[in-house]
Chain A
């Protein structure tokens, strides 16, 4: 019954989102469809089963339907754009709310020395694999029940200018007054304060990037708000204290580099994050910290790729939250420290991504493992995808979190479970 409902919902969404198909005249509908295809229209219809939500609740067995459409209009040689919209119902047939998300909608003007992009856009910085200390500009949705890492990304309304100083050297300026936070699992009754959209709150990013023969590198600076919130005591209610979340200002200086040595691809990325708690005395604000990733990958045999990275964080002016005497303050500070990986002055971890393909790339498998050595906790994510045809793919995988409850991955244990996806692309 659920499957039928999901298929029906997906088909309905598809028809609603493509008004061209709703034309009464079949000829004009075909013409409109052809016009959209000429403008680079592609899309996917997906059915997903998740054993667990990602919202740290006790909910189980989600059967979701998603339609995503991408349009890439080209107006002329100098002007093009992109619209990427997604409609998702995470649990069809149960009254779950359907979420519409405009992931991107922008125009790009191309001139000889610069590209100017304005609109809702995803900007991804950093050369490390999956863990990027310099990637602080646009948010992730850590709650959405879709299996791939890029499904979590969505854009912010912003202006980005890429100036091409030489063929290899690019200076990027990014600015937005429209801060959008990451979507994370929130506990019941928590209020999240979003910085007001004012000129004073305008965020700015600058990056000098080199990509060319021999090696790639970049240096960057970002001044804006932390995509992840910090908890603080907003007041005292009738029975319990009122805890709220807010996004504090940060300044980030960063750098990354990538080059090949023989058959090894080496990458490094590091950032130092200045927060508003420069002395490390306010437990409701993240302490200043350094965050780095260094590693590389190598392909063994034909397609087996092994990617290993060491990840480290070092907290400047560290104060142990567990020594705070007030129990309420201690609880809030501890939750912040877990979320920000600041329970210890220094933490180290290892990320490993091993992937392979078989049968002319029709079968792909990947195992992602991230282990934090301090307070041993880990995230394990095996995924297998099979392409039945060019249009139809099936994916099966799972997410496993281990570790003590008071650790970064350990607190997510409620979210563990398998998932399955059928994906039709057109």
Chain B
């Protein structure tokens, strides 16, 4: 058996091949690292970034009409992420104004079907099943729609990354979202949304909405971002302001107290809980 001697030419060829391979790996890796995420990826991260396992909060909603007259709603909310990691169970009880004190909603989200929804009205003394709201319906008379509060599935919209822009000192992706079809457009009440998503935490800082006719409808300013979980990375916005340009009405929503991660049993999300004033 003879052993073939390695010539200087063959050694040089191997070194050259390794070098080319190494360079191409580095270039490919660095290229991947530098590439912007797609618009869909950004909006998917935006969808999940507020999905905490559980959330208990006290909130105030101030409704201000075009004459500056203010009305105030105070509520406590408890939510829990369901095992699919997408849908939530949500229980809201109103404390103010006094004439609706004790009114409560229970909502079990089903992204693959209609949500289950009950309301308890103290005056009626019983909970009542409601038809799940259209996403465009106003949330208890505010300028937020149900679709603004419980975000719709990412793929119901076509997303396009338009540009980057600095808002309030934060570098943001600017995403244009168009309803996937006429049904989504009709259900959401929007023909287009523009979302400014912070690059560092993927939570939005600003959203503008166009109505189905393409006219400017609302602008939402989202502030006081706060990290509430680190693994996975979860954030909430303590302050949201929604201005309706067509009515002059606006709504200011603030979390007065937030508790994340506190265990909440599934049995809490039943009509027994909403009927307990």
Contact = CB atoms under 8 A, between A and B. Distances in A.
Given A167-B267, A214-B116, A362 B141 contact: yes
Interface residue SS majority, chain B: loop
Given A124-B126, A167-B267, A360-B249, A260 B138 contact: no
Interface in B114-150: 114, 116, 118, 123-134, 136-138, 140-143
Interface in A279-338: 297-299, 302-303
B134 to A, nearest CB: 7
A44 interface: yes
A390 B97 contact: yes
A260 B129 contact: yes
A390 B116 contact: no
A386 interface: no
B65 interface: yes
Given A212-B270, A389-B69, A123 B134 contact: no
Interface in A83-142: 110, 115, 122-127
A162 B63 CA distance: 38
B259 interface: no
Contacts of B134: 263, 299, 302
Contacts of A54: none
Contacts of B81: none
B72 A42 contact: no
A152 to B, nearest CB: 11
Contacts of B252: none
Nearest to A112: B267
Contacts of A213: 108, 110, 116
B120 to A, nearest CB: 11
A353 interface: no
A302 B138 contact: yes
B277 interface: yes
Interface in A243-268: 258-260, 262-265
Contacts of A123: 125
Interface string A381-402: 0000001011101000000000
Contacts of B141: 357, 360-362
B99 interface: yes
Interface in B142-192: 142-143
Nearest to A302: B137
B153 to A, nearest CB: 18
Contacts of B272: 115, 162, 164, 167, 170
